[in-house]
Amino acid sequence: GSGITLVKSGKLVTCTHLSYKPFQYTDGDKTVGFDVDLVDLVAKELKVDQEIFDTPFENITSGTVFTTNECDLAAAGMTINDERKAAIDFSEPYFDASQALLVKKDSGLKDLPDLKGKRLGVQQGTTGEAYANANSATHGYTVVQFEDLPLMETAVRTGAVDAAINDNGVLYDYVKEYPDTSVTKEFATGESYGIGMKKGNTALKTKVDEVLKKAKDNGDYDRIYEKWFGK
């Protein structure tokens, strides 16, 4: 066989951190999104069903979800970086991202220098949080942490924070739904998302990379991209 052992027989258990629309979010009683569709291709290849398990984001990046055998892989719009690579293995990159700034449209705020003395929202444990912290002394804003993306986004709309920073894909999706907000700036952080796996699970990594490559070659990737992001 392929040498792949799954944590639950007959299932491919995916850890994620909800909600991160349009990569993974709840629609009725289902978890849907770009990442969900992509991992479904892996499940299909293994002839099992995908089961999704919601967990705090740090449990994924720290590798805890793999050492406790909670899931086979993690798909969470998760940026590949060296710190995380020390704890988990990543698939080949499947999506490009950068950080971006979300504000209320009527705020007049456009960039980090406008935030002096103001409150900047971040999502806990993310690369956006790291970027905000790295630049806070220069610009003189206060960083305010939120557990998930929707809490952070809502805080911008209610005025609990003056602006917030997160990945461009999720923020552009949000402003489509809430036209009283806008994305005024992208920061060229040059990030790529990868699917996370237990360190040393090379059999699964080989399979996931094979499926990603095939999806890019046969048009499945483009079809899924268009479904969630348009043409």
User: Among the candidate windows 15-23, 41-49, 181-189, 204-212, which touches ligand ARG by CB under 6 A?
Assistant: 15-23
Q: How far is the CB of 87 from ligand ARG (least distance, A)?
A: 13
For residue 154, give the 3-state DSSP assignment. helix
What is the C-alpha separation between 2 and 15, in angstroms, rounded? 22
Q: Tell me which of 14, 50, 91, 127 binds ligand ARG, using CB under 6 A.
A: 127
Near ligand ARG in 135-194, by CB under 6 A? 149, 167
Q: Say which DSSP state 95 is in.
A: E
Q: How far is the CB of 71 from ligand ARG (least distance, A)?
A: 13
Closer to ligand ARG by CB, 42 or 169: give it. Answer: 169
Closer to ligand ARG by CB, 97 or 164: give it. Answer: 97
Distances (CA, A) of 163 to 38, 113, 115, 117, 228: 31, 12, 8, 12, 25
First to last CA, the chain: 39
Q: Tell me which of 12, 38, 76, 132 binds ligand ARG, using CB under 6 A.
A: 76
Q: Does 13 bind ligand ARG (CB under 6 A)?
A: no
Residues 6+ away with beta carbon under 8 Å from 46 = 2, 4, 6, 12, 207
Contacts to ligand ARG by CB under 6 A: 16-17, 20, 57, 76-79, 97, 126-127, 149, 167
